Structure 1
Amino acid sequence: MTGATAAPRQDETAAENLTQFEYLALSSPLNLADGHARQELTPGQRKVVDALPALWTEAVERPVDEIERESGEAFFTMLGQRGYPRADGRVLACYSSSLSMEIFARALATRSDAIALVHPTFDNIPDILRGVGLRLVPIEEDRLHDGDLDPALLASVGCVFVTTPNNPTGRVLSEQRLRRLAEECAEHDVVLTLDTSFRGFDPAAQYDHYAVLEGSGCRWVVIEDTGKLWPSLELKIGWLVQSAEVGLPLAKIYSDILLGVSPLVLLMVKRFAEDGMDGGLTELHRFIADNRALVRAELADVPGVGFVDEHSRVSVERLHVGERKGLEVWNAVRGSSLYVLPCQQFHWARPSEGDHTLRIALSRTSSALTSGARLLRAVLRAG
């Protein structure tokens, strides 16, 4: 019909959150945006995939609770979390860590109207928390790691929420700091919640958090995730773990939303975790370290460019792009089908703090990272 105005394509509109930016990249061969695992399967992981027909039969024939228990045991043991609670329904399996987050947020909103949240962090966390009506109070990351929190802050919220290792910075809450933070939360009767979705990439994050939390006397919740570790085509588990007397209706809200997760996916996670314990996790660490070195080598001599998180070991890398804004560079490179992630929304309390940074995903093939880094280099050098 003449005179009609065509609706804009999604990639011509402004993305409102980081996941929308990531969605735009899903079909691109140079998708370096989302932090999900998209590299090739290792030989050990290929054996797990080749065994899926047998796993299907096993999932049909065995009790689901038995499979879920074994899957959790393999996953938590692989990551050094031997003190996790094995009984009393304190470990709930969800389809994803985001669903675990939604259940937690709904439960917290029945008991409190405010939560203290690490700043910066991935924006779907503040979005989910705000979505259930919680008021967010930022805790600056440096302050979180360097000393006790303000007692007035702790008196004003029902929960302290920490992402460790953090996304995008990669910073890890040390065992000593976690112990003190848990003590502070116990003193003020505040729930301590941890999102440990990137735990698998950094051995410094693999001390036994549950032993620390159980010994602290605080009320706590931990969100774990398998989705960042293995290229499993979004087949994953988000574990929602809670203290014995957490005082939140997590089980009730869980039952409002889902009955359970696929026993086939649980068996696949178990096998991937067993492969991880048999050297696969060490292989993953080496793979990410090599990819980080590749990106830094390709971009090291670009004027004005710097690497923000020098000691990070997680599967993402932040890049400061100098005088240019990250969104401007994002627009420039997507014309060549390269997608990275502008960082404003990680800084959910003050987005301008992320104006000049980009995040690059490292869980990719080395060829994709090389091509992407060289395209990015050309755009940055051209000014």
Structure 2
Amino acid sequence: MLQTPAVSRSGDVPVENLTQFEYLALNSPLNLADGHARQELTPAQSKVIGELPDMFAEAAERPVAEIEREACDMFFTALGQRSHPSAGDRVLSCYSSSLAMEIYARSLVTGTDAIALIHPTFDNIPDILRGVGLRLVPVEEEQIHDADLTPELLASVGAVFVTTPNNPTGRVLGEERLRRLAEQCAEHDVVLTLDTSFRGFDPDAQYDHYEVLEASGCRWVVIEDTGKLWPTLELKIGWLAFSANAGLPLAKIHSDILLGVSPLILLLVRRFAADAAEGGLTDLHRFIAENRAVLRTRLADVPDTWFVDEHSRVSVDRLHVGSRLGLDVWSALRSHNLYALPCQKFHWARPSEGDHTLRIALSRSPLSIARAGQALRSVLLEDG
């Protein structure tokens, strides 16, 4: 079904997806729209950046496959994924998680015409899946987390797609739920697909998913991402991992699109992942929690507003703006040169369910969060 482009109250900004909203915010000093990491480097990370000339020389001299394997092992292990398959065999390196998603979608459509997709989630996932001709069947987040999928649903699709932690809700698929979902997918020969791009923010998402998936015997694909964790100016890797029995032409389609990724970026990821394992991840969790607290404190007494995802640990937070329309609040914020993200398009099957919420990015400097919280408070009180 075609959707009418969203237009702000001022009527001058037609946008058709969340990324276009994010693009409008890129040059603003108060960009709280996209979920990419834009905070300052830590001292340890600054030291890594200072070694870029040495890393460039190393990348030019060493075999790319060796660097790729080291980066993959360091990143996956730092996030608790010790049972991951090896790079170059069943882990394909991509420029971004969106490219990994495109490769997955083009592979999946060779074997099925339908996929069950978590609802809500970031809209580039349904857009990419629809773009290759797949029919999307919405599965509510509560159903995935609280109950078995029905045999009728599983018989009607070739894959089930879950974002965990979910964007924007932050909800994590727990180990027992993943085990049961994988068992169901194995029983029905359905490909279980996970997007774990926000895994690094929540320790509850860092149990060994690959151990669970491999034990189930199901066909599986996992999309991993480094781009949300570290402020590396969009230097990132998206990884596409898959089971030996996936039965999809992932490697072939990967080779149709790219030869490989930069070994320099792989070395950068390896070094940042090593820092994460040595305490950087704990520091990141503390940083995001402190920014979340600042934002919530600034808005705590604003009437007719509340934060939707009470227990979320990911680097975004959703604010319900009560009777106001999120798009109208977005327009008012824009006059302050402040950008957040209206949430209609996360609800890709029923956009009206996001009419009254905004998603606010937290991977920013504490000063930016404080200033944005004050501006948001002023706008909401004026409109209250």
TM-score (norm 2): 0.96
Deviation track 1:125-159 (CA, whole Å, cap 9, x = no partner) reads 00000000000000000011001001100000000
CA distance in structure 2 between the aligned counterparts of 1:13 and 1:174, rounded to whole angstroms: 39
Q: Tell me, what secondary structure is at the counterpart of 2:381?
A: helix
Counterpart residue number, 2:235 = 235
CA distance in structure 2 between the aligned counterparts of 1:73 and 1:89, rounded to whole angstroms: 13
Alignment of 1:221-300 (within 5 A): 221-300=221-300
Deviation track 1:194-232 (CA, whole Å, cap 9, x = no partner) reads 000000000000000000000000000000000000000
Counterpart residue number, 2:68 = 68
Deviation track 1:323-351 (CA, whole Å, cap 9, x = no partner) reads 00000000001011000000000000000
Letter in 2 for 1:60: A
CA contact (8 A) 2:69 2:87 kept: no
Q: Tell me, what secondary structure is at the counterpart of 1:173?
A: coil
Deviation track 1:311-332 (CA, whole Å, cap 9, x = no partner) reads 0000000000010000000000
Deviation track 1:136-191 (CA, whole Å, cap 9, x = no partner) reads 00000001100100110000000000000000000000000000000000000000
CA distance in structure 1 between the aligned counterparts of 2:66 and 2:199, rounded to whole angstroms: 25
Give yes or no for the alignment of 1:359 onto 2:327: no
Counterpart residue number, 1:332 = 332
Counterpart residue number, 1:127 = 127
Q: Tell me, what secondary structure is at the counterpart of 1:272?
A: helix
Letter in 2 for 1:378: S
Letter in 2 for 1:279: G
Counterpart residue number, 2:5 = none
Alignment of 1:363-382 (within 5 A): 363-382=363-382
CA contact (8 A) 2:68 2:87 kept: no
Counterpart residue number, 1:302 = 302
CA distance in structure 2 between the aligned counterparts of 1:335 and 1:14, rounded to whole angstroms: 16
Cα separation, partners in 2 of 1:218 and 1:301, compared to 1, 3 Å? same
CA distance in structure 2 between the aligned counterparts of 1:176 and 1:47, rounded to whole angstroms: 40
Letter in 1 for 2:325: K
Counterpart residue number, 1:3 = none
CA distance in structure 2 between the aligned counterparts of 1:237 and 1:12, rounded to whole angstroms: 35
Counterpart residue number, 2:181 = 181
Counterpart residue number, 2:347 = 347
Q: Tell me, what secondary structure is at the counterpart of 1:92?
A: strand
Shift of 1:12: 3.2
Counterpart residue number, 1:50 = 50
CA distance in structure 1 between the aligned counterparts of 2:358 and 2:270, rounded to whole angstroms: 34
CA distance in structure 1 between the aligned counterparts of 2:209 and 2:101, rounded to whole angstroms: 19
Counterpart residue number, 1:8 = none
CA distance in structure 2 between the aligned counterparts of 1:310 and 1:256, rounded to whole angstroms: 43
Gaps of 5+ in 2: 1-10
CA distance in structure 2 between the aligned counterparts of 1:334 and 1:359, rounded to whole angstroms: 14
CA distance in structure 1 between the aligned counterparts of 2:245 and 2:331, rounded to whole angstroms: 49
CA distance in structure 1 between the aligned counterparts of 2:13 and 2:37, rounded to whole angstroms: 27
Moved more, 231-240 or 11-20: 11-20
Counterpart residue number, 2:171 = 171
Counterpart residue number, 2:4 = none
Quote the sequence identity (%).
Answer: 74
CA distance in structure 2 between the aligned counterparts of 1:93 and 1:17, rounded to whole angstroms: 26
CA distance in structure 2 between the aligned counterparts of 1:15 and 1:371, rounded to whole angstroms: 26
Letter in 2 for 1:322: G
Q: Tell me, what secondary structure is at the counterpart of 2:105?
A: helix
Letter in 2 for 1:281: L
Counterpart residue number, 2:206 = 206
Shift of 1:258: 0.1
Q: Tell me, what secondary structure is at the counterpart of 2:138?
A: strand
Q: Tell me, what secondary structure is at the counterpart of 1:12?
A: coil
Q: Tell me, what secondary structure is at the counterpart of 2:82?
A: coil
CA distance in structure 1 between the aligned counterparts of 2:282 and 2:235, rounded to whole angstroms: 22
CA contact (8 A) 2:201 2:284 kept: yes
CA distance in structure 2 between the aligned counterparts of 1:336 and 1:301, rounded to whole angstroms: 21
Cα separation, partners in 2 of 1:87 and 1:301, compared to 1, 3 Å? closer
CA distance in structure 1 between the aligned counterparts of 2:211 and 2:283, rounded to whole angstroms: 27
Q: Tell me, what secondary structure is at the counterpart of 1:324?
A: coil
Deviation track 1:37-80 (CA, whole Å, cap 9, x = no partner) reads 00000001001100000000000000000000000010001000
Give yes or no for the alignment of 1:153 onto 2:153: yes
Counterpart residue number, 1:139 = 139
Deviation track 1:279-318 (CA, whole Å, cap 9, x = no partner) reads 1000000000000000000001000010000000000000
Counterpart residue number, 1:5 = none
Letter in 2 for 1:40: E
Q: Tell me, what secondary structure is at the counterpart of 1:179?
A: helix
CA distance in structure 2 between the aligned counterparts of 1:46 and 1:151, rounded to whole angstroms: 52
CA contact (8 A) 2:65 2:88 kept: no
Shift of 1:86: 1.6
Counterpart residue number, 1:118 = 118
Deviation track 1:332-375 (CA, whole Å, cap 9, x = no partner) reads 01011000000000000000000000000000001111111100
Count of residues in Structure 1 that have an aligned counterpart in Structure 2: 373
Shift of 1:88: 6.6
Q: Tell me, what secondary structure is at the counterpart of 2:222?
A: strand
